[in-house]
Amino acid sequence: MAAIEILPGIYSVGVTDWNVRNFHGHTYTTNRGSSYNAYLIIDEKIALIDTVYGPFAQELIANIKEVIPLEKIDYIIANHVETDHSGALPALMPLCPKAKILGTAKCKEGLYKHYYQNWDFQVVKTNDQLKLGRRTLSFIEAPMIHWPDSMFTYCPQEALLMPNDAFGQHLALSEKFDDQVDQSVLMEEAEKYYANILWPLGGIILKKIQEVISLNLPIKMIAPSHGIIWRKDPEKIINAYISWAKGQTINKVVIAYETMWGATAQMAQKIAQGLIAAQVEVKLYNVAESDRTEIITQMLSAKGFLFGSSTHDNDMLPNIAAFLEIVKGLKPKNRQVSFFGSYGWAGGAVSEMQEMLKNSGANLILPGIAFKYNPDKTELESCVEFGSKFAQSLK
């Protein structure tokens, strides 16, 4: 049976995507796969909370059929328009003739602009309630967590929060619950999800969590729309989100660089030496060889970032340029940042990297450091010194 009863009368009917390795148009590497979770509540009225990515629609339909005939579905709650949660609607809706979709006003607009269907749709707002029978569902609008249409659904009788993308992880496992899985893997994937999808939205997330806390809603279970369900310790992920959203960091520096013939790599190693000697934890990556999603994850808890590039055509190299485009979008506030690199007859990479991040919200420690061709012994010592000075700037 693919449908799993997670609470009496409430079933997980979503699907596991074991093989997905790139998500969001290759902006996120999902090395452990993912899942698109959907939940079916059986009461006097029957509600389906979210659907799945379109290619998995038939699997979702088969899972629901294990529990009830599809035509019995009264409501489909669309917490989020993005296609990994709504993509099955075109296949599902003709099979659910009495189903009404409920979501925010932005959801109504967004679903229409995705599928161009005039489905029966009821707009809901924060505090609106839907009576199913013994249970009710209430809705909490959550705009920009992480799309304008996003919404959380809460079932007070079960103390169950279904927050869609929030608190999720890209993780394909046969297990369903937090108490069944390796905690370090679970938290690593939850942090990766936050860092790569939610980081720029920290202020909004913090406010929303405080709003939910102020409502004094008991929460015994958090069932997100990706990955594992939190039932043993939902507070663990709430507290982690509070810490990430506050931008709490440790004494760590991420060095990310790209090198043409190895001179910039040599500089990176020497800068790392200076940092390590000052008791700073260092993570060092050649971005041309590394997983960008992993680097961003490491950056979330780092106090400082150092970006390096050789100069090519008076500019930075293309892999670090693509990487810094992502960093710029993360708006990494309260982080110390500087730059380094080797050049030939003329420089350019360091100033171009500075230019790219000047409005990112990061605290740029200028000037960076640049040397011609291969740095000599004195210049390499200057790199160690640059690392030491950068370590001082973290205090």
CB of 79 to ligand FEO, least distance (A): 10
Which one of 32, 80, 176, 335 is in contact with ligand FEO (CB under 6 A)? 80
Going by C-alpha positions, the residue among 129, 48, 128 that lies closest to residue 91 is 48
Q: Which stretch binds ligand FEO (CB under 6 A): 63-71, 82-90, 151-159, 319-327?
A: 82-90
Q: How far apart are CA 122 and CA 68, in angstroms?
A: 23
Give residues 210-239 in contact with ligand FEO (rule: CB under 6 A).
225-226
CB of 150 to ligand FEO, least distance (A): 7
The full DSSP string for 201-219 is: GHHHHHHHHHHHHHTT---
Residue with tokens 């209430």: 138
Kindly list the catalytic residues.
24, 80, 82, 84, 146, 165, 193, 226
Binding of ligand FEO at residue 84 (CB under 6 A)?
yes
Binding of ligand FEO at residue 192 (CB under 6 A)?
no
Residue with tokens 């869609």: 164
Q: How far apart are CA 149 and CA 139, in angstroms?
A: 12
Binding of ligand FEO at residue 191 (CB under 6 A)?
no
Please, what's the b/e burial string for 228-242 (b: 16 or more CB within 10 A of its CB; e: otherwise)?
bbbbeebebbbeebb
Binding of ligand FEO at residue 165 (CB under 6 A)?
yes
Distances (CA, A) of 98 to 12, 42, 48: 22, 15, 13
Q: How far apart are CA 40 and CA 42, in angstroms?
A: 6
Q: Which stretch binds ligand FEO (CB under 6 A): 76-84, 173-181, 200-208, 257-265?
A: 76-84
| Residue 136 structure tokens | 């009710």
CB of 177 to ligand FEO, least distance (A): 20
Which residue lies nearest ligand FEO, judged by its C-beta? 82
| Residue 201 structure tokens | 């939205």
Q: How far apart are CA 107 and CA 116, in angstroms?
A: 13
Binding of ligand FEO at residue 17 (CB under 6 A)?
no
Radius of gyration of the chain (CA): 24
With respect to ligand FEO, which residue has the nearer C-beta, 146 or 252? Answer: 146
With respect to ligand FEO, which residue has the nearer C-beta, 85 or 176? Answer: 85
Residue 103, phi then psi, degrees to nearest 5? -170, -175
Residue 192's Cβ-side half-sphere holds a number of Cα atoms within 13 Å equal to 25
Hey, CA dihedral for 156, 162, 168, 171, is it positive or negative?
positive
Which one of 50, 82, 149, 352 is in contact with ligand FEO (CB under 6 A)? 82
CB of 331 to ligand FEO, least distance (A): 18
Give residues 125-144 in contact with ligand FEO (rule: CB under 6 A).
none
With respect to ligand FEO, which residue has the nearer C-beta, 23 or 343? Answer: 23
Which one of 6, 43, 59, 85 is in contact with ligand FEO (CB under 6 A)? 85
CB of 53 to ligand FEO, least distance (A): 9
**How many residues bind ligand FEO, per CB under 6 A?**
9
Provide the binding-site residues for ligand FEO, judged by CB under 6 A.
Answer: 80, 82, 84-85, 146-147, 165, 225-226
